[in-house]
Amino acid sequence: MDDKLLDIKNLSVAYNTYEGTVRAVRNASFSVGSAQNIGLVGESGAGKTTTALAVMRLVPDPPGKITNGGIYFQGRNLCDAAENEMESIRGNQISMIFQDPMTSLNPVLTIGIQIAEVVMTHRGLSKSAAFKEAQALLEKVHIPAGRYKEYPHEFSGGMRQRVGIAMALACNPSLIIADEPTSALDVTIQAQIIDLMRDLQSEFDTSMILITHDLGIVAEICDYVAVMYAGEIVETGSLEQIFTQPLHPYTIGLFKCVPRIVGNDKISPIGGGLYNPFSVPEGCSFHPRCLKKMPVCEQTAPDGVSIDGHRVRCHLAAVRRRQEK
């Protein structure tokens, strides 16, 4: 991408625990362009949320620590930014929609106070003006403005998630990170939240990193996809490239797990389980579960192979690429 809003380069994050060191993110690299949506997909434990927290500089320390790489936002390396500078960026230029709004919202403060706090802090509005803005933001996410005096427990799960979206959009950020924003909602409410996010993003011209397990949601919203496994970005490409021509055996396995409405294709789950977080396999981290592994997969970590912007870390893909040449 020529117009990079966010450029993550060789990012590594580790958690030092009493049982050992967990390398949660390992040399992850991907970019987000202006007004672009990227889907970050993978199984639970792959490192997706840790990557998002690293971008926000919210990795809990201790025990977590960014051990390597850079996070370049509008050309500025956030890894070197002072805490007061990050406070001016969080919620203002980069916002995050958390997975469970019931735990991310303060239960003892009204919804109006929590939204107003964002705009008073970053936009310098007076208290009365901030409350008017909070009501306007609630209306934007289809919640009656009069409910700004109510508490989080008085809202349904879908409405709490809408409040989270309103808070994320309060300062018209350049980038929104949405961490599985629909995972705790039923299917009907999921569709409403997806439509709302898509409409608001178009209105505000905002980029988004969408963290999800749901490939259907990725197909609805995203332009670009990054597939994560065992802390590594194993495949990146446009939505069309990933969905029509997946190259990594893990990505192919994810698609085989998706139920189909038409056809007689059976769901074929990926064998085995995630790696032991305290002991990353030698070579390719996916090789213990890969049906197409070769001897080299158990010994050497694969380098990235790029084909028309479609990048994959897999020895088999590299062999195929050499054969095509």
Q: How does residue 2 score in pLDDT terms, banded at 50, 70 and 90?
A: low
Looking at the structure, do residues 195 and 53 belong to the same domain, yes or no? yes
Looking at the structure, do residues 179 and 259 belong to the same domain, yes or no? yes
Segment 84-113, tens digit of pLDDT: 999 999 989 999 988 877 788 999 999 999
In the sheet that holds 4-17, the strands lie side by side as: 20-33, 4-17, 64-73, 76-77
Residue at 286 is within a domain: no
Looking at the structure, do residues 34 and 66 belong to the same domain, yes or no? yes
**Of the candidates 123, 155, 170, which is a domain's last residue?**
170
Residue at 195 is within a domain: yes
Residue at 303 is within a domain: no
Segment 62-89, tens digit of pLDDT: 899 999 999 999 999 999 999 999 999 9
- Is the pLDDT assigned to residue 276 strictly greater than 50? yes
Looking at the structure, do residues 12 and 161 belong to the same domain, yes or no? no
- 8 A C-beta contact, residue 293 and residue 228: no
Looking at the structure, do residues 165 and 179 belong to the same domain, yes or no? no
**What is the rounded CA–CA span in Å between residue 299 and residue 248?**
18
Nearest alpha carbon to residue 42 among 59, 34, 30: 30
Segment 288-324, tens digit of pLDDT: 999 888 999 999 999 888 888 899 999 888 777 766 6
Looking at the structure, do residues 19 and 65 belong to the same domain, yes or no? yes
Q: What pLDDT sits at residue 1? A: 46
Mean pLDDT of 161-166: 88
Count of structural domains, the chain: 2
Looking at the structure, do residues 126 and 205 belong to the same domain, yes or no? no
Q: Taking the complete model, does pTM exceed 0.85, yes or no?
A: yes
Domain that holds residue 164: 101-170
**What is the rounded CA–CA span in Å between residue 85 and residue 92?**
11
Q: Which of 40-54, 153-167, 198-212, 267-281 has the lowest mean pLDDT?
A: 267-281
Residue at 305 is within a domain: no
Residue at 64 is within a domain: yes
**Of the candidates 245, 263, 281, which is a domain's last residue?**
263
Residue at 29 is within a domain: yes
Q: What is the mean pLDDT of the chain?
A: 88
